[in-house]
């Protein structure tokens, strides 16, 4: 425990560090820049969580070019704040408008909106904020406790183990994606193929460029992310109706009653525990945690007959779980360099932009970055509680802005961001192409997230595959040899997962759930 507190002390020193900052030609001394970036991230996260149609994935993708001019720690603190801030903001629209601002807030609509209709929007919003704050603090402690031992194990990994781990990560993402198994596998393979475009590092040969010189350096990660998530999200949202019934006059008193406190304590604890566990799973994160917590609470609660009619447990459990899941999903990212969901894939992209190779060496080589990011989550969660409840009135007014007025400015910022990376108009064209591809994928029932994971992990998998084959002198059995038990274990787990999910009964159930959700 002493080691953990010592590491946390390093992190807090980094978060609160005063440093000189140059802005508009002026240098300001002794500025708590990392705290400012945390505040900006939390505000942006809450804003995009509140505004339906702008998710954290699209926002982080749009802001990746901004991180070029930031220090690595400031960039990651801001992007992390956007992610867990969106979990807070999503509950506001779910409760007041019955529109989930974030996918993980879908379950909150069921009881939160009913509470608002009954004139109890204030306690519902306060319950969401309190549950999210508690879960965020506990799950950050979980990250601090479990990340170091996992990273120590991961330091013993060689190329064969890394390759097998990435195979398991992609298989798990396929298993936990919604809808057809075949479509999810197809999206992963498409992502892997897109990751191979460009110049082969070993031979210097141009691959899959089709004579287009702009593709010599490969397809830009930011371009793919903005197109598949940003433009695709805009097109999809323009199809939605804009009529919204907002309970602005019913927010009233915020603090829950004594009876509410009694009923929400255990759901918050159970939601936090379940969310912390499910957030670590590849492909899981906040969405899986919120659905799991609501289902569990409905089974164990003595008020289960009230679920769907305004039960406070139906707000407390999923809101605690989605925030806990959002934060523990950083564990595989920080320790193994494996993204557990689309947002974590974007975080890996941000690390690569900063010249940081994601993986267990981050903790040993850059402890200030590693622990600073973890400690910023505590600060961010406190900021969100302080900011969210007083600003509810402002968020309500923002909800009245029609989406048709928002999307042109979003498109403009995306185009500027993509162009600023390489100063090539071709990248803007490519972003539009990926936007249309993303929209087609959504219409066909194919999730874009597995494609992004495949695109991120493809080059890393190829690199580790080649290294392993070179070290074994071309022997493919190196991945399953008794001398490599970890690698063999990962591959066996991958095959077992695919076999289990391919069972006819599970496939049918999986597709039924997807149809219900859509």
The average pLDDT across 114-143 equals 84
Q: Cα separation of 325 and 329, whole Å?
A: 6
Report pTM.
0.71
Residue whose entry in the numeric block shows the structure tokens 């874009």: 448
Q: How confident is the model at residue 101 (pLDDT cuts 50, 70, 90)?
A: low
Whether the CB-CB separation of 54 and 48 falls below 8 Å is answered with yes
Q: Is 126:252 a contact under the CB 8 Å cutoff?
A: no
CA dihedral 329, 109, 274, 39 (to 10 degrees): 40
Question: What pLDDT, in 10s, does the model give residues 72-91?
Answer: 888 889 988 888 888 777 78
Mean local confidence (pLDDT), 28-38? 83
The pLDDT of residue 476: 84
Q: Greater confidence, 21 or 235?
A: 235
What is the C-alpha R_g of the chain?
Answer: 23
**Is the pLDDT reported for residue 167 higher than 60?**
yes
26: Cα within 13 Å, side-chain hemisphere = 4
Domain boundaries, the chain: 36-415+422-517
When pLDDT is averaged across residues 367-392 and rounded to a whole number, the result is 82
pLDDT above 60 (res 24): no
Residue 269 has a pLDDT of 92
Contacts of 507 (CB under 8 A, 6+ apart): 181, 501
pLDDT digits (tens, 9 = 90+) for 395-437: 666 666 676 777 787 788 778 777 876 778 888 899 899 989 9
| Tokens 């990250």, located at residue | 143
Q: Which residues of 226-247 are buried (b: 16+ CB within 10 A; e: fewer)?
A: bbbbbbbbbbebeeeeeeeebb
> Averaged over 33-55, what is the pLDDT?
81
Strand-pair category, 19-23 with 26-31 = antiparallel
Q: Which residues contact 414 (CB under 8 A, 6 or more apart)?
A: 61, 62, 226, 230, 231, 431
CA 213, CA 221: separation in Å to the nearest integer?
A: 17
The three-state secondary structure class of 499 is: helix
334-362 pLDDT, tens digit each: 777 777 777 787 888 888 878 887 777 77
Which has more confidence, 450 or 266?
A: 266
Q: What is the pLDDT of residues 195-223, one digit of tens each?
A: 888 888 777 788 888 888 888 888 887 78
Interval 269-318: pLDDT, tens: 999 998 888 777 655 566 668 877 888 888 888 877 888 888 888 889 98
What's the rounded mean pLDDT across residues 319-324? 87
| CA dist 368 → 7, 56, 331, 374, 481 (Å) | 9, 25, 16, 10, 38
The pLDDT of residue 268 is: 92
pLDDT at residue 7 greater than cutoff 60: yes
Is pLDDT at 473 greater than 80 in this prediction?
yes
Identify the CA nearest to 342 among candidates 180, 181, 455, 194.
455
Q: How far is CA 157 from CA 131, 152, 329, 420, 473, in A?
A: 38, 10, 21, 37, 19
Cα distance between residue 280 and residue 292, in whole Å: 14
pLDDT at 508: 62
d(CA 283, CA 67): 25
Q: Which residue has the tokens 């267990």?
A: 360
The average confidence (pLDDT) of the chain is 79
**pLDDT for 236:** 77
Q: Which two tokens stand for residue 183?
A: 């479509």
What is the arithmetic mean of pLDDT over 376-404?
A: 76
Residue entry with tokens 């970055």: 369
Q: What confidence tier does 373 reach under pLDDT thresholds 50, 70, 90?
A: confident
Query: Is residue 247 scored above 60 in pLDDT?
Result: no
Only one residue has tokens 């809450």, namely 46
* Cα distance between residue 84 and residue 289, in whole Å: 14
Q: At what angle do helices 33-50 and 56-63 cross, to 10 degrees?
A: 140
What does the block give as tokens for 372?
């600073």
């Amino acid at each position: 425990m002493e080691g953990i507190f010592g590491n946390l002390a390093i992190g807090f020193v980094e978060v609160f560090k005063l440093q000189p900052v140059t802005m508009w030609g002026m240098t300001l001394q002794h500025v708590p820049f990392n705290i400012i970036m945390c505040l900006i991230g939390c505000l942006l996260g809450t804003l995009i969580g509140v505004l339906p149609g702008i998710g954290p994935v699209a926002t982080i993708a749009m802001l990746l070019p901004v991180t070029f001019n930031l220090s690595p720690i400031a960039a990651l603190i801001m992007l992390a704040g956007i992610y867990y801030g969106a979990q807070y903001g999503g509950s506001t629209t779910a409760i007041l408008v019955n529109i989930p601002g974030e996918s993980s807030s879908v379950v909150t609509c069921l009881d939160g909106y009913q509470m608002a209709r009954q004139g109890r929007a204030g306690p519902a919003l306060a319950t969401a904020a309190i549950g999210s704050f508690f879960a965020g603090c506990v799950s950050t402690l979980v990250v601090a406790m479990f990340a170091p031992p996992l990273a120590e194990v991961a330091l013993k990994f060689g190329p064969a183990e890394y390759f097998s781990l990435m195979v398991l990560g992609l298989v798990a993402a396929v298993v936990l994606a919604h809808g057809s198994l075949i479509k999810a596998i197809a999206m992963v393979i498409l992502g892997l193929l897109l990751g191979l475009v460009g110049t082969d590092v070993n031979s210097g040969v141009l691959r899959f460029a089709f004579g287009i010189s702009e593709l010599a350096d490969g397809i830009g990660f930011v371009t793919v992310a903005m197109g598949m998530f940003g433009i695709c999200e805009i097109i999809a949202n323009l199809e939605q109706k804009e009529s919204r019934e907002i309970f602005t006059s019913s927010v009233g008193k915020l603090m829950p009653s004594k009876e509410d406190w009694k009923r929400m304590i255990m759901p918050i604890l159970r939601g936090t525990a379940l969310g912390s566990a499910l957030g670590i799973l590849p492909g899981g994160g906040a969405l899986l945690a919120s659905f799991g917590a609501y289902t569990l609470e409905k089974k164990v609660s003595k008020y289960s007959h009230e679920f769907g009619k305004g039960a406070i447990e139906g707000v407390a459990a999923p809101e605690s779980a989605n925030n806990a899941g959002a934060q523990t999903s950083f564990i595989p990212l920080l320790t193994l360099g494996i993204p557990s969901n689309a947002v974590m894939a974007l975080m890996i992209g941000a690390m690569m932009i900063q010249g940081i190779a994601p993986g267990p060496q981050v903790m040993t080589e850059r402890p200030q970055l590693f622990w600073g990011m973890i400690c910023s989550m505590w600060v961010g969660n406190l900021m969100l509680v302080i900011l969210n409840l007083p600003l509810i009135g402002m968020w309500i007014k923002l909800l009245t802005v029609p989406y048709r007025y928002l999307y042109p400015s979003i498109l403009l910022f995306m185009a500027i961001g993509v162009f600023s990376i390489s100063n090539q108009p071709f990248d803007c064209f490519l972003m539009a192409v990926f936007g249309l591809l993303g929209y087609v994928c959504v219409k066909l029932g194919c999730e874009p997230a597995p494609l992004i994971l495949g695109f991120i992990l493809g080059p890393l998998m190829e690199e580790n595959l080649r290294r392993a084959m070179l070290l074994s002198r071309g022997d493919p059995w190196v991945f399953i040899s008794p001398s490599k038990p970890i690698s063999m274990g990962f591959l066996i787990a991958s095959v077992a997962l695919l076999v289990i999910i391919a069972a006819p009964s599970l496939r049918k159930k999986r597709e039924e759930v997807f149809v219900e959700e859509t």
